[in-house]
Structure 1
Amino acid sequence: MSTSDRSQTLRILIGCDTFSPDVNGAARFAERLAAGFVRRGDDVHVVAPSKRVNRTGAFAETIEGERMTVHRWTSWRWYPHDWLRFVLPWRARSYARRLLDQLRPDVIHIQSHIVVGRALAKEGAKRGIRIIATNHVMPENVLDFTLLPERAKRLFVRWGWRDADRVLRRASAITTPTRRAADFLERNTDRRGVLPVSCGLRASDYTADLTPRTRNELVFVGRVTLEKEIDVILRALPRLDPALDVRFTIVGDGDQRKNLEKLAADLGVANRVTFTGRVSDEQLRGHLTAASVFVIASIAELQSIATMEAMASGLPIVAANAMALPHLVDEGENGYLFQPGNDRELADRISRVLALSDADYERMQRASLEAVQAHDIDRTLDTFDALYRGERPEA
């Protein structure tokens, strides 16, 4: 097949350790990627853990409105985590061998180096199949679920990066969502030339309300887990001027919900905080449109699709100055950054946004809408189309 002939469709195999119905950035990216290439006419197959034991097979599933084949491999629940499931490594290798011999894809795009991605990369390399790898994982992010003592955690991180390197070296191209994430990967492994490629989104799927505000509502969207540091946002609420009557909506669910509900009660702000639990995409977009400010205190974001969704909804952003979040916030233009963990500074930044005149607030909204255009999903698909065909992506 000519690498420059886009009239020829590709058979693409996307390998995921987390995928629908999971709710997280890596899963959302894989879903949009798969659906995007289905719309372009390619033959897309996805490998992902099953949601039930002893459920291995190929299933026609609708993902992001598109029908595709999802190969579900028998998986097991990781009980320290609230939803994570994993495929047994020795079974994954066996599943990968059978699937690759049957499917014969043109390219394999792995979304992690953990189990599914590792098996597909190893077996794919043996068969001379082009492998593209996107890294969504930092070993540091999974420490809360390892049950390891502190000293062992440090050893785990060093082992985790060496282990990632052993898998990623099989790829002909490696991408991460941002330049900062790419630099982080290069510092911790022997990989070089890592490409920053935005996870992307279709901004037209979101609605911005540019009319003057009638209430002050903060919103966070994402998993309710330790790494998101939602407690920092809750601690900032009592520091805000009571006259502002600020409400806070937490859209999502996770293992920290009960702890955060208790913290909100202890801080005396429970009557101003709403936990929605898991919601539909339509409901999620509605919460973003209705809000005044998107707030995120996480210190472990490799990009943050939720923040981009908020920008596409015309929201000013107040974010922790950590990992990739500064890439999405132009200080004073579409929002503000604060020192991670500093709830006093966070309260100050929120107050600055809420104190803006209607004209200045709208200017900040429009800055978010403009900035998110750089993350258009079609640019992302064009880049991966080139990588899949063995080409150098256009700058």
Structure 2
Amino acid sequence: MNAFPLDAVPSPTTDGLDTVMPAGSRAAARCRTVLIATDTYPPDVNGAAYFSHRLASGLVARGTQVHVVCASDEGSPRTDIMDGVVVHRLRSAPLLVHPTMRVTVPAGLGRTLLRLIGRVRPQVVHVQGHFVVGRAAIEAARRAGLPVAATNHFMPDNMFQFAGIPARLRGRVGDLVWHDFRRVFARADRVTTPTRIAAELLSAKGFTREVEAVSCGVDLHRFQPQPQQWARQRFELEDRPTILFVGRLDEEKRLDELVWALPQVLNRVDAQIVFVGTGGRRPALERLAARIGVGGRVRFLGFVPDAALPQVYSAADVFAMPGVAELQSIATLEAMASGLPVVAARAMALPHLVADNGRLYRPGDVRELAGHLTAILTSADLRASMAKASLALAATHDHRRSLARFEEIYAELIA
């Protein structure tokens, strides 16, 4: 990865070297150019950041020139080339309500984005949210006469923990956030979200525009079944039936339900839970596991680089997703593509991902959750049939289909 001043526009060259074009000049494009605007991008760890990165790098691999504009992970502005994508990182400040994320400084942002659009000359702007960068990018695109695609990954539940919103006020705050969303996304030419249920949610919240469901998709070449014993050795996991969760260890994921379920599972099978990811709930989960006597059967692997995630899934026997604010769940798709049965909360879009490949449980019903996990872990035949069903269902979410659909949307907007 190479870094450049923000006022220079680097362009990947065909010989694999990176060249810097002075501001105001631009090499002749051989394919359409897309500017993806997002408030969160790797090294941020969340679903929207992962989707934005995989969309950008996937489009580049298919021949589209892609620029991404996002908050700087370090504070100062700079431009990098990352996996063939030109990433323009904007001046940022710590987000006071979140321990690790940063937010783009709004002052002068509109002028900065207009100058960037003038240098990059994208044919389409694709925003990934309605917050600071997203709304400024829509405004800049409109002033530049460019079409806008917009994808929603957000639910208010994702912010309540960090913002410290009391339960009694969450309904009112959620209404205000949805009102802001409707106002910003109404200015886009095309709106998408990962699932039909997520699209229905926007309609239920008063968004009157048509919303297309386009799956986040999963790379079936990267995520596929691999030898379990080798994977467990790599992550120094004990060789016993393993329940896996991958994602943020935050409030809306309801991971305490998994820990509470473990003693009931242990009555029938010598199991362990492996948590992969970081988040504010880890200390509480560690204390809970110790208090109820299962601390030795709960492992926290912390952050695992994206390149190693396929091996993480292969170390498990079943994947659990207790979250109640999932507009799709990239991690669940990856688990399915890795051949894992899934036990998930019957909430939001998760029922779209669970059929013969797993079981759904009522959020909060720890007994039902434990029963499903126990049934799967104690039956090799059931695991095998569910694994086969997971692979078949994951195949319908091949990321190449998603990339092709976004390319079609861009072409329609350009036309």
Corresponding residue pairs, total: 378
Question: What secondary structure, in the 3-state scheme, does the structure 1 residue paired with 2:67 have?
Answer: strand
Partner residue of 2:55 out of 33, 37, 47: 33
The superposition leaves residues 252-288 of structure 1 with CA deviations (integer Å, 9 ceiling, x where unpaired) of: 1111111111111011100001000101224322221
> Does residue 260 of structure 1 match 2:282?
no
1:334 maps to which residue?
357
Please give the alpha-carbon distance, in whole angstroms, between the structure 2 residues aligned to 1:360 and 1:318: 13
Partner residue of 2:367 out of 339, 344, 361: 344
Question: What secondary structure, in the 3-state scheme, does the structure 2 residue paired with 1:294 have?
Answer: strand
Please give the alpha-carbon distance, in whole angstroms, between the structure 1 residues aligned to 2:168 and 2:261: 32
Q: Report how far residue 80 of structure 1 moved.
A: 2.4
Contact 1:47/1:71, CA 8 A, preserved across alignment:
yes
2:253 maps to which residue?
228
> Does residue 181 of structure 1 match 2:204?
no
Given residue 199 of structure 1, which amino acid in structure 2 is its aligned partner? Answer: C
Partner residue of 1:374 out of 366, 382, 396: 396
Q: Report how far residue 93 of structure 1 moved.
A: 1.8
Q: Report how far residue 294 of structure 1 moved.
A: 0.2
2:149 maps to which residue?
132
The superposition leaves residues 283-333 of structure 1 with CA deviations (integer Å, 9 ceiling, x where unpaired) of: 322221011000110000000000001001100000000001100000xx1
Q: Report how far residue 92 of structure 1 moved.
A: 2.3
2:32 maps to which residue?
10
2:96 maps to which residue?
79
Partner residue of 1:59 out of 74, 80, 86: 80
Partner residue of 1:103 out of 120, 123, 135: 120
What is the correspondence of 1:274-353 to structure 2 with a 5 Å cutoff? 274-330=299-355, 333-353=356-376
Contact 2:227/2:314, CA 8 A, preserved across alignment:
no
Please give the alpha-carbon distance, in whole angstroms, between the structure 1 residues aligned to 2:323 and 2:44: 19
- Residues 298 and 15 (structure 1 numbering): CA distance in 2 closer, same or farther, change over 3 Å? same
1:193 maps to which residue?
210
Please give the alpha-carbon distance, in whole angstroms, between the structure 2 residues aligned to 1:38 and 1:23: 21
TM-score by length of 2: 0.87
Question: What secondary structure, in the 3-state scheme, does the structure 2 residue paired with 1:323 have?
Answer: coil
Question: What secondary structure, in the 3-state scheme, does the structure 2 residue paired with 1:300 have?
Answer: coil
- Residues 201 and 211 (structure 1 numbering): CA distance in 2 closer, same or farther, change over 3 Å? closer
Unaligned runs of 5+ in 2: 1-28, 233-238
TM-score by length of 1: 0.91
How well do the aligned residues superpose, as a CA RMSD in angstroms?
Answer: 2.0
Contact 1:320/1:340, CA 8 A, preserved across alignment:
yes
Partner residue of 1:68 out of 85, 89, 93: 85
Please give the alpha-carbon distance, in whole angstroms, between the structure 2 residues aligned to 1:179 and 1:316: 23
> Does residue 388 of structure 1 match 2:410?
yes
The superposition leaves residues 112-158 of structure 1 with CA deviations (integer Å, 9 ceiling, x where unpaired) of: 00010100001111221010000001123211122344454333211
Q: Report how far residue 73 of structure 1 moved.
A: 0.4
Question: What secondary structure, in the 3-state scheme, does the structure 1 residue paired with 2:396 have?
Answer: helix
> Does residue 271 of structure 1 match 2:296?
yes
Q: Report how far residue 72 of structure 1 moved.
A: 0.4
- Residues 151 and 271 (structure 1 numbering): CA distance in 2 closer, same or farther, change over 3 Å? closer
Given residue 252 of structure 1, which amino acid in structure 2 is its aligned partner? Answer: G
Please give the alpha-carbon distance, in whole angstroms, between the structure 2 residues aligned to 1:112 and 1:391: 19
Contact 1:297/1:340, CA 8 A, preserved across alignment:
yes
Question: What secondary structure, in the 3-state scheme, does the structure 2 residue paired with 1:295 have?
Answer: strand
Please give the alpha-carbon distance, in whole angstroms, between the structure 2 residues aligned to 1:337 and 1:293: 13
Given residue 321 of structure 1, which amino acid in structure 2 is its aligned partner? Answer: R
Given residue 365 of structure 1, which amino acid in structure 2 is its aligned partner? Answer: A
Please give the alpha-carbon distance, in whole angstroms, between the structure 2 residues aligned to 1:164 and 1:170: 10
Question: What secondary structure, in the 3-state scheme, does the structure 1 residue paired with 2:412 have?
Answer: coil
Unaligned runs of 5+ in 1: 1-6
Partner residue of 1:120 out of 124, 137, 161: 137
